[in-house]
């Protein structure tokens, strides 16, 4: 069905205000299943997901990212990358963990949108404090905080995007 993915992409935006309604377990399971299906370099799947839902733990996660709006999210998925499990390109050793995590995170965000949830990529947080809080092994990096919840304002804002002619070159 042409246009379904485009429609989802058009609806997805950075939500920074959520209702207090909890996200049901079956919805979280579905979102995680969509991320599990994400492609990765050489299919190494160097990711793990920490689902934070308990109010006490959400408050502790807020300590690693100090924004009031973040407090409105009823849950957060901490997307982690395992640099020991990611593919490293032979020619120059480039670690593809960041790329794989970005793909999986966008799968999470699009699945959340499909389920009527909002999300917002957060990468500007204290990763060291987050790793300590979650007791992650040294080779596992918390890379993205993805707060999830029902948007307090359901209207999708207008997106400013470059035109196809500005981003594509045809040869």
Q: Express each pLDDT in 34-60 by its tens digit.
A: 999 999 999 999 999 999 999 999 999
Q: What 3-state class would DSSP assign to 155?
A: coil
The DSSP bridge pattern shows strands 140-149 and 118-119 to be: antiparallel
Is this prediction's pTM over 0.85? yes
What are the C-alpha distances in Å from 96 to residues 38, 100, 127?
14, 6, 19
**pLDDT of residue 1 exceeding 70:** no
Classify domain 18-118 at the CATH topology level. NADH Oxidase (3.40.109)
């Amino acid at each position: 069905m042409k246009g379904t993915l485009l429609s989802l992409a058009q609806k997805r935006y950075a939500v920074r205000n959520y209702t207090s309604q909890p996200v049901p377990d079956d919805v979280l399971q579905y979102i995680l299943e969509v991320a599990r299906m994400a492609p990765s370099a050489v299919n190494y799947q160097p990711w793990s997901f920490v689902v934070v839902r308990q109010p006490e733990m959400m408050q502790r996660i807020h300590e690693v990212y100090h924004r009031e709006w973040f407090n409105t999210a009823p849950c957060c998925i901490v997307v982690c990358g395992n640099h020991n499990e990611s593919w490293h390109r032979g020619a120059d050793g480039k670690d593809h963990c960041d790329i794989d995590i970005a793909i999986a995170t966008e799968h999470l965000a699009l699945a959340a949108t499909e389920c009527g949830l909002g999300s917002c990529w957060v990468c500007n947080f204290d990763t060291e404090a987050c790793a300590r809080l979650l007791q992650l092994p040294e080779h596992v990096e918390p890379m993205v905080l993805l707060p999830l919840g029902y948007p307090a304002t359901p209207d999708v804002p207008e997106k400013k995007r470059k035109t196809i002619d500005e981003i594509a070159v045809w040869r």
